[in-house]
């Protein structure tokens, strides 16, 4: 590795607990400054004259809009490159594409299928690469998710709230598929002292290799969050402050749709499930979106418990914070 190799954001595993905390806190600060009508001086023009390439091999609403908006807010130019716009994958290798694109831009934000694609892009890129969703991780979503929890639980009793996010001891229940969004959330939770209980149907548990990565994140945290796994949704939601889910059929799994819908029967997040399992009285609901009715009832999704639209908006502030840390500040996150 060259001493000038850029720092990439491929997973929350790439961050120390202090850096994850800083990215969330910076997102919070920028949100409040900008929404009150000012522009944070330390952000203004930090990407002026810079181009950010966005290579997306899959559809996106939130990640695309938040990233383009963040780049413009910071004075730069976002260049959206969908899968039919560039030669990648059809006529050109990842290696060639990475070397060429990174020679002309200040950052590559990439949405890919297999995680190895974004890892290869990063390996050969002379510009920082930010993972905009791979089959294993979704770090920008995780930053937004902890920002959303930080805002929703201001009273979480923690002696460290002054310096940290004050989320230690919070209990998150994940009911549904063990997927990319869960993996980065669980890694971040381990680092921040947030407990996670995961309910998946038999055969859909967290793969052992990923469990090892999550456990390693916990081992390196000053106060680690615990991870519990079960196949019983009621068990997972017991004492939960937040219930989270995502689609049962991620992009790229469309052929398994019928099989998955059947396997996940009984895993829909509903008020009855929360009540039967004994979630905390003021439990909140989160979902990265896009949402389908099978994984959560309308009655929960559109209820005052639901943080989903705040969570979606927080993608913008998370993108600003990540671009600030990895591009404007060249990976120095403080
Ligand atoms: N949550 C999320 O990443 O949404 P998009 O797929 O619309 O970007
Ligand atoms: N798990 C979903 C997340 C979409 C934002 C997918 O990978 O399709």
pLDDT of residue 55: 97
State the pairing for strand pair 195-199/227-230.
parallel
Ligand 2, atom 7, lies closest to the CA of 250
Of 246, 260, 312, the one to substitute when testing ligand 2's pocket (max ligand atoms within 8 A of C-beta) is: 246
pTM above 0.90, yes or no: yes
Q: Is 107 labeled as catalytic in the residue annotation?
A: no
Residue 215 phi/psi, 5-degree rounding, is -65, -35
Residue 36: DSSP 8-state: T
Q: What class does CATH assign to 141-312?
A: alpha beta
Q: What pLDDT is stored for residue 156 in this prediction? A: 58
CA atoms within 13 A on the CB side of 224: 14
> How far does the centroid of ligand 2 lie from the alpha carbon of residue 1, in Å?
31
- 243 in helix, strand or coil? strand
Cα(131)–Cα(45) distance, integer angstroms? 23
Q: How far is CA 292 from CA 23, 97, 120, 247, 301, in A?
A: 30, 35, 32, 7, 10
Q: CA-to-CA distance for 234 and 47, rounded, in angstroms?
A: 47
What is the per-residue pLDDT for 89?
84
User: In the Cβ-directed half-sphere of 271, how many Cα atoms lie within 13 Å?
Assistant: 11
Task: Pick the ligand that lies closest to the CA of residue 308.
Answer: 1
Pairing, β 227-230 against β 242-245: unpaired
| pLDDT value of position 157 | 52
Q: What is the DSSP letter of 251?
A: T
Q: What is the pLDDT of residue 160?
A: 47
Closest CA to 69 of 325, 315, 327: 315
Residues of the chain with CATH 3.40.50.1370: 12-137+315-328, 141-312
Strand, coil or helix: what is 196? strand
Report the pLDDT value the prediction gives residue 208, as an integer from 0 to 100: 98
- Name 294's Cβ contacts closer than 8 Å, sequence gap at least 6: 248, 261, 264, 268
CB count, 10 Å around CB of 270?
16
CA torsion sign for 106, 62, 237, 164 is: positive
Q: Which ligand is nearest to the CA of 56?
A: 1
Contact (Cβ atoms closer than 8 angstroms) between residue 157 and residue 168: no
SS3 of residue 59 by DSSP: coil
- What's the DSSP call for residue 198? E
pLDDT of 284 reads 98
- Helix, strand, or coil here: 53? strand
Q: How far is the CA of 250 from the centre of ligand 2 (A)?
A: 5
- The three-class DSSP label of residue 241 is coil
CA of 330 to the centre of ligand 1 (A): 25
Helix (H) or strand (E) holding 148: helix 139-152
Q: What angle do CA 63, 128, 192 make, to 5 degrees?
A: 65
62 CB less than 6 Å from ligand 1?
yes
Q: According to the CATH classification, is domain 12-137+315-328 in 3.90.550.10?
A: no
| pLDDT at res. 2 | 57
State how far the Cα of 263 lies from the Cα of 200, in Å rounded to an integer: 9
CA distance 142 to 135: 14
Residue-level pLDDT, tens digit, the chain, 334 residues: 455 789 999 999 999 999 999 999 999 999 999 999 998 888 989 999 999 999 999 999 999 999 999 999 999 999 999 999 998 888 999 999 999 999 999 999 999 999 999 999 999 999 999 999 999 999 999 999 999 999 999 865 554 456 789 999 999 999 999 999 999 999 999 999 999 999 999 999 999 999 999 999 999 999 999 999 999 999 999 999 999 999 999 999 999 999 999 999 999 999 999 999 999 999 999 999 999 999 999 999 999 999 999 999 999 999 999 999 999 999 999 8
- pLDDT, residue 206, reads 98
Give pLDDT, residue 40: 87
pLDDT at 154: 80
Spot the catalytic one: 190, 279, 288, 318: 288
For residue 293, how far is its CA from the centre of ligand 2 (angstroms)? 15
């Amino acid at each position: 590795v060259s001493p000038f190799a850029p720092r990439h954001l491929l997973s929350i595993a790439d961050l120390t607990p202090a850096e994850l905390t800083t990215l969330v806190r910076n997102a919070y600060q920028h949100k409040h400054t900008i929404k009150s009508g000012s522009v944070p001086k330390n952000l203004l023009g930090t990407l002026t004259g810079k181009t950010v390439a966005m290579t997306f091999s899959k559809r996106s609403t939130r990640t695309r809009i938040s990233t383009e908006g963040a780049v413009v807010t910071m004075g730069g130019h976002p260049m959206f490159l969908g899968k039919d716009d560039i030669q990648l994958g059809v006529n050109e290798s990842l290696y060639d594409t990475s070397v060429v694109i990174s020679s002309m831009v200040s950052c590559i934000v990439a949405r890919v299928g297999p995680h190895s694609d974004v890892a290869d892009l990063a390996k050969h890129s002379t510009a920082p690469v930010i993972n905009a969703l791979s089959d294993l991780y979704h770090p920008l979503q995780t930053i937004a998710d902890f920002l959303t929890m930080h805002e929703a639980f201001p009273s979480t009793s923690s002696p460290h709230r002054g310096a940290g996010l004050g989320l230690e001891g919070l209990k998150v229940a994940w009911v549904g598929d063990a997927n990319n969004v869960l993996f980065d959330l669980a890694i971040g939770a381990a680092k921040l002292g947030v407990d996670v209980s995961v309910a998946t149907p038999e055969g859909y548990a967290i793969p052992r290799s990923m469990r090892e990565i999550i456990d390693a994140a916990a081992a390196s945290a000053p106060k680690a969050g615990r991870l519990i796994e079960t196949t019983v949704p009621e068990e997972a939601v017991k004492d939960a402050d937040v219930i989270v889910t995502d689609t049962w059929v991620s992009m790229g799994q469309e052929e398994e749709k019928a099989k998955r819908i059947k396997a996940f029967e009984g895993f829909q997040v509903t008020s009855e499930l929360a009540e039967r399992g004994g979630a905390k009285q003021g439990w909140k609901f989160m979902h990265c979106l896009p949402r389908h009715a099978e994984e959560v009832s309308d009655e929960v999704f559109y209820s005052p418990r639901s943080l989903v639209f705040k969570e979606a908006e927080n993608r913008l502030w998370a993108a600003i914070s990540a671009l600030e840390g990895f591009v404007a500040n060249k990976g120095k996150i403080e």
